[in-house]
Structure 1
């Protein structure tokens, strides 16, 4: 099969009587308090860095539009609202590299810069414009590394540290200011293309050394650089928020956040603390009152997987659990998946044909869409309590007045449950499981202030109240 149908269009959700509780597990009461505000939600997103954006653009016009709809369309797709862009550091433009806007040393850190801009950026400019047309306004640009000539190892890959930071001794001099200017210039280039970068980061996984673009910062060095970077961003006149530090593990990000929070000057410069749960999972919030994002994750695995629930750890159900835990235990304000679409054994949301005009969809997409399509930017998470330990429940209040309840049934049996609502409403419900993908369901009803739901085994149900 060259590709599967692109759009799984849910019909109008209906609200009818739930299947009688006698056919399911006993009811357990919970409650949703929409007036009890918790953290605001900035949005849900994805990335197409490392030239993955160009792979979408290379599809036929019809398939290209279908893939974009799957990722960005609010009615038929995931309606993602954050695009994470990769700031390049490589001197070449081969696949899986990101080309630098200054690939050649201009002659030292104080020499006039020699920026080059191709107006394309590995397809990311095209994708950003497409996303903007779908209504996306949040663009997070993040650097994996500085160009090699700015680092103490002379290479944009294999770790190394930015020259000028404490602990470095580079013959070429102090590149901190030049690197800050380099990042600001990247945002200026996008502004000229009609895309406003809203969030800007200077490091990705600074706790790891990898064979691809990477650069090390200790927590102290990250705090040090924010005090150089932040003022340069402010002087640019662009309304950009500084983000840090995209550590590879949530526990490691706690160390970076702690270091920044301990320095009053650094703390004032960072608007958003960003971390990844690769090395260890999200088990609690980052230690800051600032915004926090889970800014990159896809599950580990070795093959392409389209399953909803096969116990592989990289199926759709695993993604749904990760989203729930990040928003509830982690109290994160943003959730940014890694690749939206990539090749081969990707754990992305969509698999693109390698050399063919085709694509396939993973249930991971529909797990994310069950949250992102309905919980919109500037929503607020509210208090939700389940009376059944098998149910992972969270709830949200959107700025348009709609209210959302997500219920992940981790049990292998059907569960019927009730929730007391402080604000009632007319429900529309959607379910995702082995056979359905954000499909309208008639198994949820509201009578007075009681929401009753009949939940399929190992399923994710999203309820929208109006």
Structure 2
């Protein structure tokens, strides 16, 4: 029988032997700040949520998304700034006649349900509301259409007979922010592009770093002139991380970091798995499984709809790309079972949360806005580890075990004295379920199940 181990000891549980590994959380070693985790209900999904669900089912859907005790505790929503040709989709559906002609803006106080959705999220304490435009109105673009790409008139290399619409587009975006602010819904982040590297049949607008750099200072100055300097600018919600890296290089070279606060990307063509060279925070602002039929599964071989798959994606983004936020595409959908592009499904009466929702919950319930990711030392076989320090002084450690056997881990702390520990597990049979965390002499020992997650939250000693 072994008599001494440096990092590992043998622990016998129910007749089985497991390797026990030691990990140290370096609570004073601060990495990126965390803004949170979130969803969207764009393209009318917010109105469907409101109108097709009522009473207890509607409340349950909201709780699944935003309740930090029974749901995921999400803290960010992403709204779409519409650019269509109807009053319900755009605040400027018709051209005023030219870029220097006064615009006749209109707002229907609904915005396809996004006003309601924003108000509901705010009731749960959500403070981060990101408004993003998929396209400028068609009459401001080279193709005279909100769909099928096209460039903003007046950007480098893209002249239009109707003139330069860059200032008019900035005014349009700022007016949208004003409408929301007037209704007690403060827009905190503002984007003017969505997947500018992708041309599609719905609202879309092309842009590279040069085009974006010619517009960003105009939009920044327009916000300033309207007393909206508290609104942070983002760019550019590219299709994938590698594409956004390339665009960001051009933005940095053009000096755009002084105007922007966030670099934003999607994950459809490449996941966030490495750091983008920038001084700005980085967000993953849209992610989803658009191919698989909807499922609620946690783990069954590693399919794209499974919760464990998405837990790994979030972990890699936080640990390897230094993400400050991770946003899924849709939250709640009704009678839409064709793809796993949303976290909660409903037939109009019964709601079914997915394993992907619980993957988000294992971070978002416990790692709150303003937290910092902190360093850890030591490793656990087949297990990813992220640790965080919240603004209230508590420390959270999240384990993700990709291996075929349970891992028992002893966690100690540097520059932090815990007062106690609580632990929660998610796997094929449990969803954010409380489990035992053995706490003794300032250390905690936990067991991380195979293909499962375990989150430990530790309060700071007074």
Fold match (TM-score > 0.5): yes
Unmatched segments (≥5 aa) in structure 2: 1-10
The aligned counterpart of 1:62 is: 56
Is 1:160 paired with 2:154? no
- Structure 1 residue 386 displacement after superposition: 4.1
Question: Residue 410 of structure 2 contacts residue 446 of structure 2 at CA under 8 Å; is this kept in 1?
Answer: yes
Q: 2:408 aligns with which of 416, 421, 430?
A: 416
Question: Residue 424 of structure 1 contacts residue 446 of structure 1 at CA under 8 Å; is this kept in 2?
Answer: no
- Structure 1 residue 399 displacement after superposition: 0.6
- Structure 1 residue 352 displacement after superposition: 3.0
- Structure 1 residue 415 displacement after superposition: 1.4
1:323-372 CA-partner distances (Å, limit 9, x unpaired): 1111110101111111112222232111133xx34432111101101100
Alpha-carbon distance in 1 for matches of 2:284, 2:265: 5
The aligned counterpart of 1:390 is: 382
The aligned counterpart of 2:33 is: 40
- Structure 1 residue 24 displacement after superposition: 4.2
Question: Residue 380 of structure 1 contacts residue 398 of structure 1 at CA under 8 Å; is this kept in 2?
Answer: yes
Unmatched segments (≥5 aa) in structure 1: 1-17
Alpha-carbon distance in 2 for matches of 1:140, 1:440: 33
Q: 1:240 aligns with which of 231, 236, 245?
A: 231
1:22-59 CA-partner distances (Å, limit 9, x unpaired): 62431222221111111111111111111111111121
- Structure 1 residue 117 displacement after superposition: 0.3
Is 1:370 paired with 2:357? no
Question: Residue 290 of structure 2 contacts residue 339 of structure 2 at CA under 8 Å; is this kept in 1?
Answer: no
Question: Residue 294 of structure 2 contacts residue 305 of structure 2 at CA under 8 Å; is this kept in 1?
Answer: no
1:360-389 CA-partner distances (Å, limit 9, x unpaired): 211110110110010000001001234223
1:149-169 CA-partner distances (Å, limit 9, x unpaired): 111111111111111111112
Structure 1 residue matching 2:201: 3-state secondary structure? coil
The aligned counterpart of 1:350 is: 344
* TM-score, length basis structure 1: 0.92
Structure 2 residue matching 1:64: 3-state secondary structure? helix
- Structure 1 residue 242 displacement after superposition: 0.6
Alpha-carbon distance in 1 for matches of 2:108, 2:17: 60
Is 1:283 paired with 2:273? yes
How many residue pairs match? The answer is 441
Is 1:325 paired with 2:316? yes
Is 1:229 paired with 2:219? yes
Is 1:462 paired with 2:440? no
Question: Residue 40 of structure 2 contacts residue 329 of structure 2 at CA under 8 Å; is this kept in 1?
Answer: yes
Question: Residue 424 of structure 1 contacts residue 465 of structure 1 at CA under 8 Å; is this kept in 2?
Answer: no
Structure 1 residue matching 2:167: 3-state secondary structure? helix
The aligned counterpart of 1:184 is: 174
The aligned counterpart of 1:305 is: 295
The aligned counterpart of 1:88 is: 82
The aligned counterpart of 1:404 is: 396
Question: Residue 299 of structure 1 contacts residue 319 of structure 1 at CA under 8 Å; is this kept in 2?
Answer: no
Question: Residue 24 of structure 1 contacts residue 414 of structure 1 at CA under 8 Å; is this kept in 2?
Answer: no
1:61-119 CA-partner distances (Å, limit 9, x unpaired): 211111001101111111111111100011147xxxx7111001111111110111000
The aligned counterpart of 1:27 is: 20
CA RMSD between the two structures:
1.5
Q: 2:428 aligns with which of 431, 434, 438?
A: 434
Distance verdict in 2 for CA 1:213–1:84, change over 3 Å: same
